[in-house]
Structure 1
């Protein structure tokens, strides 16, 4: 595998992840691409608690307006909290909520079995298990997590 193939594989995996996630309230048509953007923003907030929207935009490369929209959706879902910056009361700092919201639980519980079957064009249990096991191996080695320890395993 070369760098281009790795990049394209990553894009394919992102698209499969998006396809496997449950629809947001209001449906995907109302917010096209919003799941991807919201996940990028949520991931940045998890890594950088008490951060401002402008800082998230800088780190992610997303336009500030899209970051603001994603933060608003995360607040509405109960996934993040915002509070005034004590050093500059004009700006808000965002952090993950202490409690997991219903939406977060719903997204994390979504399995990938049907999405993998569709992408592979088969429902052969042996082939699906091989691919799911390969994905688990990648997650353990590249992300330092064991997917079997949490929800979302097919």
Structure 2
């Protein structure tokens, strides 16, 4: 596989992930990738700020702010004033499992992968799902930190 093929595979996998996400019952749609990236960063860095999330993720601050607003709206993220600087909001995971978080956490990918494969055998689907499981175990978000700057 070439670097170009890997990039195109990554794009395909992101689209499949978006397809597998349950649609929100209300509110805006689109931008799921950004929301997932921001949510994951906030969950990994409790007490963080929008500026810090933007710096760590490489996303524009405006995109992070929009994602945080959506995450606050559905109850996945809580923002509290920073005691040291009342202008800043400190972000953290909502400890309560909201219905939306539960729905997303229990969603599967089988249907999206099967649809993307088109006509396929059960063995083909099982092979692709197993390969994705292996990739997911070996190439976690933390592995990005080992890449060159």
* TM-score bin (small chain): 0.7 to 0.9
Conserved in 2, the CA contact under 8 Å of 1:83 and 1:92? yes
- 1:16 is displaced (CA, Å) by 0.3
Determine the C-alpha separation between the residues in 1 that align with 2:43 and 2:8: 26
Aligned match of 2:3: 3
Quick one: which of 73, 86, 102 aligns to 1:89? 86
Name the SS of the counterpart of 1:83 in structure 2. strand
Which portions of structure 1, spanning 4 or more consecutive aligned residues, are displaced by more than 6 angstroms?
none
- Does 1:64 find its partner at 2:61? yes
Query: Any idea what SS the aligned residue of 2:7 has?
Result: helix
Distance 1:69 1:133 in 2: 35
Q: Is the 8 A contact 1:53 1:68 kept in 2?
A: yes
Query: How much does 1:67 deviate?
Result: 1.3
Aligned length: 141
Say which of 126, 131, 138 aligns to 1:134.
131
1:123, CA displacement in angstroms? Answer: 4.5
Q: Compute the displacement of 1:81 (Å).
A: 1.0
CA distance in 1, matches of 2:44, 2:10: 20
- For structure 1, which segment, 56-65 or 70-79, has the greater mean C-alpha deviation from structure 2 after superposition? 56-65
**Contact 1:24 1:35 (C-alpha < 8 Å) held by counterparts:** no
Could you say which residue in structure 2 is the equivalent of 1:19?
19
* 1:37 and 2:54 are equivalent in the alignment: no
Shift of 1:10: 1.4
User: SS of 1:89's equivalent?
Assistant: coil
SS of the equivalent of 2:75 reads: coil
Aligned to 1:74: 71
Q: Is the 8 A contact 1:81 1:94 kept in 2?
A: yes
Within the alignment, does 1:105 sit opposite 2:85 as a pair? no
Query: Deviations for 1:118-142, whole angstroms, at most 9, x for unmatched residues?
Result: 1111252111111101111111222
Q: Which runs of 5+ in 2 are unaligned?
A: 142-149
